[in-house]
Homo-oligomer: A and B are copies of this chain.
Amino acid sequence: MTVGTYAELASVFAALSDETRWEILTELGRSDQSASSLATRLPVSRQAIAKHLTALQACGLVESVKVGREIRYRALGAELNKTARTLERIGAEWDRRLAAIKEIAESMEE
């Protein structure tokens, strides 16, 4: 994996590591909403939510659609799926290595 992709990964991880952002994503997963609408449902200010939405949009987890004078946000699965595949690949790699070590240890016991 190159350094470039790591920065991308890290931004997604950073976005997903905040609980408030998860709540925002969960809300958006149920229905598209504006920042103001989210602010009435979550216990933080609209400005705080706006910041979170900027971060989420920056790493592709969310997209915005203008509807009249308000801006609706919606959750996108693509980036999440991509991240999931990367994690799966790395996890499998670690498991493989661990299995190999175990095998060597067993063969040495004989």
Select which of B14, B91, B97 is within 8 A of A84 by beta carbon.
B91
Number of copies: 2
Q: Does A70 contact B (CB under 8 A)?
A: no
User: Which chain B residues lie closer than 8 Å to A91 at the CB level?
Assistant: 77-81, 84
Minimal beta-carbon separation of A6 from chain B (angstroms): 5
Question: A-side binding surface: helix, strand, loop or mixed?
Answer: helix
Mask of A1-29 contacts with B, CB within 8 angstroms, 1/0: 10000110111011011110010001001
Contact between A81 and B74 (Cβ–Cβ < 8 Å)?
Answer: no
Kindly list chain B residues whose C-beta atoms are within 8 Å of the C-beta of A1: 26
CB of A44 closer than 8 Å to a CB of B: no
Contact pattern, A 56-85, Cβ under 8 Å of B = 1, otherwise 0:
000000000000000000111111110111
A-side interface residues toward B, CB under 8 Å?
A: 1, 6-7, 9-11, 13-14, 16-19, 22, 26, 29, 32, 74-81, 83-85, 87-88, 90-95, 97-98, 101
